[in-house]
Amino acid sequence: MSDIFHSDRFGKQVWLTNHAIEAMPKRRVTLDEIKALIERGAYLPKADNHGWISHRFEGRNDNLICAAVDTGDAVIVKTVMVNWTVRSNP
């Protein structure tokens, strides 16, 4: 699996950390789903250059798929989660 690809949406390279690569098969998430998540998912910023990108995929019963990302010089996918829930800040 290539851990680098380009995002047209962000205009940057996308890098997957080892942690994200290892999490993908455990959660049955494919590289094509990660690419679609980055390009079409809802971005929820947490702090400067950090946030979450989530997306519902038709045919999966473990929605939402979410990636914790850093969006500085590149989009770095730190981890991949399923059954993600948006939580409000206190």
Q: Is residue 37 part of a domain?
A: yes
Q: What is the CA radius of gyration of the chain?
A: 12
Q: What is the pTM of this model?
A: 0.89
Q: For 27-48, how does the pLDDT look when each residue is reduced to its tens digit (9 = 90+)?
A: 999 999 999 999 999 999 988 8
- Secondary structure (H, E, C), the chain: CCCEEEECCCCEEEEECHHHHHHHHHCCCCHHHHHHHHHHCEEEEEECCEEEEEECCCCCCCCCEEEEEECCCCEEEEEEECCCCCCCCC
Residue 51 lies in a domain: yes
The CATH number of the domain holding residue 36 is 3.30.2310
Identify whether 36 is part of a domain.
Answer: yes
Domain that holds residue 22: 4-81
- Residue 88 domain-assigned? no
Domain count, the chain: 1
pLDDT digits (tens, 9 = 90+) for 58-67: 999 887 899 9
Say yes or no to pLDDT of 89 above 60: no
CB burial readout 12-44, b (16+ within 10 A) else e: bebbbbeebbebbeeeebeeebbeebbeebeee
Residue 25 included in any domain: yes
Confidence of residue 1 (pLDDT cuts 50, 70, 90): low
Distances (CA, A) of 54 to 38, 68: 8, 9
Is residue 86 in a domain? no
